[in-house]
Amino acid sequence: MCSPMGPPKIAIGDKIKDQFLVKKKLGEGSCGMVYLVLNIKDAKKAAMKVEPLMKSKDDEILKMEVYVLKKMQRSKHVCQLLAAGKTSSYNFLIMSLLGKELSDIRRRLRDRKMSIGSVLKIGIQSTTAIHDLHKVGFVHRDIKPSNFAMGRDEKANTVFMFDFGLARQIMFPDKDGRLKLREARKKVAFRGTVRYCSLNVHLYKEQGRHDDLWSRLRMTISTGMFYMLIELLSSTLPWKGMARKDSAHVKETVSDRILLAGCPNCFVDINNHLKSLTYQDTPNYGLLQTKFTKELNKLKIKP
């Protein structure tokens, strides 16, 4: 629960770090706002996330987003970090401006469905984005269509992943510099979005790399990226609109046949690999990408 010390003191026309001019508000969430800003030095537009200072520092999530973005700057699937800091009333993060979120794109389409080709291409790129995040030792913990967007201009065909405020570092370097997985906590607070989170999250279990992609518990349960891809393709999920408890029950009991109805065959093949993964296991990201690519080739669509 957000407990701000007070509203951010920010106005249109304000100058941030003597370089960015606040132009207009783009959106507002439960714990912050997003503004369009103009880089005075090169006249390029950018996005600025603003979070009010909180009564408890533990409630401030923008610092985690900045930390993860710094680690991820070599990935072509995350925004460029342009500036970050704090004022007397808010924390801020300025990053490159993205295009439409995948959730917005889907809702604007006929029948609110994407084509199989589009979903497979998104699958390839989102797998790469998630793998890039895992390689620096983090899990996202809130994979969903509104946290992925297309780029702009020359990057219009590139999928970007963003919003790392709920991310958690689960791997740390040992004395030789190799990443080692930290021990899973026995019980954790709910983190994520009910529609897309895994059954593990409903049961307050530690989220691992497989929870960003897929999870297995008692039955084959898809989650994270695959819940996202299924919804982009079919426009819905069996538990859409349900309360958290009811959603957890359907996720636990729904059959693969119902969940994957209308999905390409590669989704079933990928499930057969991923259903055995646990917190300790490393997903075979290359297998996922190969399956997506082969399905595209069958459809004679260029990846």
Whole-Å CA distances, 94 to 10, 159, 164: 14, 19, 14
Cα angle value 15/149/257 (rounded, 5°): 155
State the catalytic residue, choosing from 142, 163, 211, 212.
Answer: 142
Among left, alpha and beta (phi > 0; psi -120 to 50; other), residue 21 is beta
Asked whether 196 and 229 are in contact (CB, 8 A), the reply is: no
Angle between helices 116-135 and 225-234 (to 10 degrees): 170
Q: 93: part of which helix (H) or strand (E)?
A: strand 90-96
100 Cβ partners below 8 Å, 6+ apart?
A: 149, 150
Q: Tokens 């003597």 — which residue? A: 18
Token pair listed for 8: 């951010």
Residue 176 known to be catalytic: no
Measure the CA–CA gap between 144 and 149, rounded to whole angstroms. 10
Q: Look at strands 168-169 and 81-86 and give their pairing.
A: unpaired
C-alpha gyration radius of the chain: 20
Query: Which residue is listed with tokens 């993964």?
Result: 277
Question: With the C-alpha atoms ordered 126, 103, 208, 65, is the resulting torsion angle positive or negative?
Answer: positive
Distance of CA 74 to the CA centre of its chain: 17
Which residues are the active-site residues?
142
